[in-house]
Homo-oligomer: A and B are copies of this chain.
Amino acid sequence: MISSERLAEMCRVHPAQIRKDLSYFGEFGIRGVGYNVRDLLSEIKKIFSTHREWRLAIVGIGQMGTALVRHANFAQKNYRFVAAFDSDLEKIGREVTSGIVIEPFSRIRPLIRELGIEVGVVTTQPAETRNVVDLLVDAGIRAILNCSPLQVGSLENCVVENVDLTVNLEYLAYFLSESM
């Protein structure tokens, strides 16, 4: 069993927030006792649909793109890269990782349909980001993880999640300042 207090501590929010958020999805906890860890984990996996595979395309195969495609965490959690795109003609045809050959932007639309890709990961230079987001949305993509330095707002038909590690650094800086 785990209490909402302990969960809140781990997530750095208030226990009331944990209870409120979870209650939105059903009755998981036992009042005054907490949550059964195995049941809670299984419910959370259902909520986040991580019990099934999600197919990803990555656009922009520089250092960051290559690192992400090869990173162990994604496949472990059922997020599978199935296509890679770059605008640099020099890179087209190279294998970025076993089984994934870099394709030109002209192949974004057909491959996304053909391979059933649902999420786009953008690791381009900032000057290309906006154009790439438009290409992905045009191809039917409705969820984008944007790791480029240019932040992009969510669009009418597509949610954009901007990754910015300086947010994590801010937490560390806060911790260091507080404990000085």
Closest to A172 in B: B143
Chain A contacts with B in 5-56, Cβ cutoff 8 A: 13-14, 17, 20, 47-50, 54, 56
**Is the CB of A161 closer than 8 A to any CB of chain B?**
yes
A50 contacts across to B, CB distance below 8 A: 170, 173
A residues apposed to B, CB below 8 Å: 13-14, 17, 20, 47-50, 54, 56, 62-64, 66-68, 70-74, 76-77, 79, 118-119, 126, 142-145, 147, 149, 159, 161, 163-166, 168-177, 179
Interface pair A175/B63, CB less than 8 Å apart: no
A13 contacts across to B, CB distance below 8 A: 13, 17
Known: A166-B79, A179-B142. A62 touches B67 (CB 8 A): yes
Interface pair A161/B171, CB less than 8 Å apart: yes
A175 contacts across to B, CB distance below 8 A: 143, 159
Looking at A20, A163, A175, which has the most chain B CB atoms within 10 Å of its CB?
A175
Known: A13-B17, A17-B14. A168 touches B176 (CB 8 A): no
Known: A79-B166, A159-B172, A171-B161. A64 touches B54 (CB 8 A): no
A62 contacts across to B, CB distance below 8 A: 67
Interface pair B145/A169, CB less than 8 Å apart: yes
Known: A67-B64, A149-B72. A49 touches B173 (CB 8 A): yes
**Whole-angstrom distance between the alpha carbons of A149 and B76 in the complex?**
10
A147 contacts across to B, CB distance below 8 A: 165
